[in-house]
Amino acid sequence: MKTFGLKIFSVLLISVLIFQNCNKDEEQVSMFIGNYVITEALIAESFTIPVIGLGNVPVLVNTPVTEAIQTALLSAVTCSSPDKSYIELRDDFSLYLTCEGANALNGGTWAEASSTELQLNLNSTAVPTSPSGIALTVTDVNKTGNILTGKTSVPMPKEFIAAIVAPMTLDDSAPSIYVIKISLKFTQK
């Protein structure tokens, strides 16, 4: 009888350990899951813009471009204020764009490449100016409390740059696409 009781106890103990390990696997979710507002975007590497009559105009490191980035990444979402527009990183690795209180727009997918690198795959719904969407790799990712920071390179068409420098006019020598390195700060809602 003692042997039978010991066998049952062993089976129960092993079952409990297996179920505990299963639950631990299910609990291991990314620390990046959540809703984020773009609260700051700064130029991370200087570049020049050729402007008619002025020559090459430098754009310096730490130049704020928050509004332009909010517009570029959240242009598919109509919202009364940028602080109410946010990016949702869901636990199924889907990425949604939304305005607080409105229906979310499927914006693509995301992946956690490592604890310091995220891949954001924005589809053409999220980036209407790009028929195939764009993939952004965010590096140097750091999350402290509800603040997420990182760096990325954002491809911006010449027309987007022209709108930023208006009323000045881009020179014909301006490239068709600018790849701009940006430091980003997101605040989790």
Written as one letter, the residue type at 54 is L
Domain assignment of residue 125, yes or no:
yes
- Please give the mean pLDDT across all residues of the chain: 84
The pTM score is 0.78
The continuous run of DSSP H or E covering 71 comes out as: helix 66-74
Residue 64 lies in a domain: yes
CB 153 within 8 A of CB 178: no
Q: Is residue 2 a part of any domain in this protein?
A: no
User: Which phi and psi (to 5°) does residue 165 adopt?
Assistant: -90, -5
Q: How confident is the model at residue 26 (pLDDT cuts 50, 70, 90)?
A: low
Q: What is the rounded distance in angstroms from the CA atom of residue 57 to the CA atom of residue 162?
A: 13
> For residue 45, is pLDDT > 90?
yes
Q: Looking at the domain assignment, is residue 66 inside a domain? A: yes
Note whether residue 12 is domain-resident: no
Residue 7 included in any domain: no
Range of the domain at 47: 33-188
Residue 89 in any domain: the answer is yes
Q: What is the CATH number of the domain that holds 133?
A: 2.40.128
Tally of domains in the chain: 1
77 or 96: which leads in pLDDT: 96
pLDDT tens digit sequence for 104-142: 899 999 999 999 999 999 998 888 878 888 999 999 999
- Residue 16: the pLDDT is 41
